[in-house]
């Protein structure tokens, strides 16, 4: 489909700056030239895109809102959102790679790291020369990360780390991992664990039906000696990892609009070209209903994100507001991926079209960064003041 047909039904572009539009266009162009030609092959073959992180670094998609002095681009939150949207129009795996590096690795180092840690890691993470991962989830503790078992002990001149993290994006590729673990008082703190530290391994998780162009794996710590200077000094408690999630969930709210747009635009074009019973299928009311509802939902999601971005720029976005956007927009995108596949009939299951890939990817997106149900419970708690977990 022509990229000029990407929906802006409510003239939301008028609320963006010229800089926002330029950033969006440059990422859109990069996705067209780098991601689109190889994404179906990568997903079908369950392999990552070679050189992806350095490419993302070149286009400024890693740590867009991290200050320039540490290698970031110093952009605002709406720019970050637009970048995520364009990346996920390509594939959720590409957005995931940028989300984890930006919001889950660079963000905590920038927010909670020492000056030495910022200077040592951030510029290399921004360029994609170094790949980071984020270890919060454990085999026995997903939605309830506060019950984590991974722990570290103070051995005088170093810490000794033991435990395991599961479902970790980019773990098999990572050079460093930001790992959340309990200290001897049972309080959660962040440690930067580097590949090569003895006792640290990153086995890959095989056979996924979702996010097949992204590497997922474990982080296993068996008496890993972590230098004391690798502890993030600026935060203690679950609010450390959860504030990283606020940033990543915000980016996902934008990102999934990209996946929905890709499915919507493909379905509009197909419905005008494909003829049955002598007419284009787009001339039938049942198909028009689907397309009209897709556009309505995309437009609502765009407005939700834009205002959330304004709140975030002003440091006023609450975690519950972010939960509402993540939950609403991911459900919107997965519903559009599934329904739009039907508009393509049998062709909808083929790799030449993006629907099955997006729908399968979004099964992970609706689960990670807080499940659909967990975000509903966060909203419920915000409304009633009663914790239903």
Q: Which residues are catalytic?
A: 369
Site string for ligand TGC, 129-168 (x = CB under 6 A): -----x-xx-----x-xx----------------------
Nearer to ligand FAD, 101 or 302 (CB): 101
Nearer to ligand TGC, 210 or 266 (CB): 210
Q: Are 281 and 271 in contact (CB under 8 A)?
A: yes
Near ligand FAD in 292-351, by CB under 6 A: none
Nearer to ligand TGC, 119 or 239 (CB): 239
Q: Which residues pair with 204 in a beta bridge?
A: 217
Near ligand FAD in 144-173, by CB under 6 A: 167-169
Nearer to ligand FAD, 24 or 327 (CB): 327
Give the DSSP letter string of 217-261: EEEEEEEEEEEGGGB-TT--STHHHHHHHHHHHHHHHHHHHHHHH
Site string for ligand FAD, 97-136 (x = CB under 6 A): ---x---------------------------------xxx
Nearer to ligand TGC, 322 or 343 (CB): 322
For residue 268, the minimal CB distance to ligand FAD (Å) is 30
Q: Which residues have a Cβ under 8 Å from the Cβ of 117 and sit 6 or more positions away?
A: 109, 192, 229, 230, 232
Q: Which residues pair with 227 in a beta bridge?
A: 158
Phi–psi pair at 213, nearest 5 degrees: -95, 15
Near ligand FAD in 238-257, by CB under 6 A: none
Among 137, 189, 271, 340, contact with ligand FAD (rule: CB under 6 A): 137
For residue 167, the minimal CB distance to ligand FAD (Å) is 4
User: Roughly what angle, to the nearest 10 degrees, separates helices 285-313 and 239-273?
Assistant: 150
For residue 116, the minimal CB distance to ligand FAD (Å) is 25
Q: Answer with the entry of ligand FAD, ligand TGC, none that 245 interacts with (C-beta below 5 to 8 A by kind).
A: ligand TGC
Residue nearest to ligand TGC (CB): 319
Q: Answer with the entry of ligand TGC, ligand FAD, none that 135 interacts with (C-beta below 5 to 8 A by kind).
A: ligand FAD
Residue 57 tokens, joined: 């670094």
Give the DSSP letter string of 140-201: TBSS-GGG---EEEE-SSEEEEEEEEEEEETGGG-SEEEEEEE-TTS-EEEEEEETTSTTEE
- Rounded to whole angstroms, the Cα distance separating 59 from 38 reads 18
Checking DSSP bridges between strand 275-276 and strand 279-280, what pairing results, if any? antiparallel
Nearer to ligand TGC, 136 or 334 (CB): 136
Kind and range of the H or E element at 275?
Answer: strand 275-276
Near ligand FAD in 214-233, by CB under 6 A: 216
Residue 211 is a binding residue for ligand FAD (CB under 6 A): yes
Kind and range of the H or E element at 134?
Answer: strand 132-135
Kind and range of the H or E element at 135?
Answer: strand 132-135
- Rounded to whole angstroms, the Cα distance separating 297 from 72 reads 33
Judged by the rule CB under 6 A, the positions of this chain that interact with ligand FAD are: 100, 134-137, 142-143, 167-169, 211, 216, 364, 367-369, 371, 373-374, 389
Judged by the rule CB under 6 A, the positions of this chain that interact with ligand TGC are: 96, 99-100, 134, 136-137, 143, 145-146, 169, 237-239, 242-243, 245-246, 248, 319, 368-370, 374, 378, 389
């Amino acid at each position: 489909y022509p990229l000029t047909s990407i929906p802006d039904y409510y003239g939301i572009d008028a609320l963006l700056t010229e800089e926002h539009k330029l950033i969006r266009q440059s990422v859109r162009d990069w996705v067209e030239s780098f991601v689109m030609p190889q994404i179906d092959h990568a997903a079908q073959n369950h392999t990552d895109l070679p050189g992806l992180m350095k490419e993302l670094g070149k286009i400024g998609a890693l740590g867009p809102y991290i200050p320039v002095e540490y290698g970031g681009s110093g952009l605002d939150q709406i720019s970050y959102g637009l970048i995520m949207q364009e990346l996920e129009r390509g594939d959720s795996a590409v957005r995931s790679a940028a989300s984890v590096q930006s919001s889950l690795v660079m963000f905590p180092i920038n927010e909670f790291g020492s000056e030495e840690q910022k200077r040592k890691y951030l510029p290399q993470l921004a360029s994609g020369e170094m790949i980071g991962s984020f270890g919060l989830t454990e085999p026995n503790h997903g939605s309830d990360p506060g019950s984590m078992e991974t722990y570290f002990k103070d051995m005088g001149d170093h810490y000794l780390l033991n435990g395991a993290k599961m479902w970790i994006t980019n773990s098999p590729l990572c050079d460093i991992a930001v790992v959340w673990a309990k200290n001897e008082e049972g309080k959660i703190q962040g440690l930067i664990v580097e590949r090569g530290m003895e006792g640290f391994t990153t086995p890959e998780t095989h056979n996924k039906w979702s996010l097949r162009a992204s590497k997922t794996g474990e982080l296993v710590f068996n008496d890993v000696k972590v230098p004391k200077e690798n502890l993030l000094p600026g935060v203690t408690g679950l609010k450390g990892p959860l504030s990283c999630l606020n940033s990543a969930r915000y980016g996902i709210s934008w990102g999934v609009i990209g996946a929905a747009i890709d499915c919507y635009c493909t379905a509009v074009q197909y419905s005008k070209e494909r003829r049955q019973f002598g007419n284009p299928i787009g001339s039938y009311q049942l198909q028009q209903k689907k397309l009209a509802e897709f556009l309505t939902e995309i437009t609502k999601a765009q407005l939700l994100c834009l205002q959330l971005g304004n709140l975030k720029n002003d440091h006023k976005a609450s975690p519950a507001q972010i939960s509402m956007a993540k939950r609403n927009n991911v459900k919107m995108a997965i519903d559009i991926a599934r329904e739009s596949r039907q508009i393509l009939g049998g062709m909808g299951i083929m790799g030449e079209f993006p629907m099955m890939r997006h729908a399968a990817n979004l099964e992970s997106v609706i689960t990670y960064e807080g499940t659909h149900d967990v975000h509903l419970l966060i909203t419920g708690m915000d409304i009633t003041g009663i914790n239903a977990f």
